[in-house]
Amino acid sequence: MRNPLCPHSTTALHWIGAAALMHAAAAQALDCKLLEQQIEGKLHAAGVAGFRLETLDAAASATGREVGRCDHGTKKIMQRATAAAAAPRPASVATASGARTSRPAVITECRDGSTPTDGRCRR
Supply the pLDDT for residue 66.
93
Supply the pLDDT for residue 122.
77
103 within some domain: yes
23 within some domain: yes
118 within some domain: no
List the beta bridge partners of residue 65.
79
pLDDT in tens, 18-58: 555 555 555 555 689 999 999 999 999 989 889 999 999 99
82 within some domain: yes
SS3 of residue 79 by DSSP:
strand
113 within some domain: no
Pick from 101, 104, 94: nearest CA to 68: 104
2 within some domain: no
Q: Return the higher-pLDDT residue of 64 and 88.
A: 64
66 within some domain: yes
pLDDT tops 80 at residue 120 = no
How many domains is the chain built from? 1
Range of the domain at 68: 10-108
The predicted model scores a pTM of 0.48
120 within some domain: no
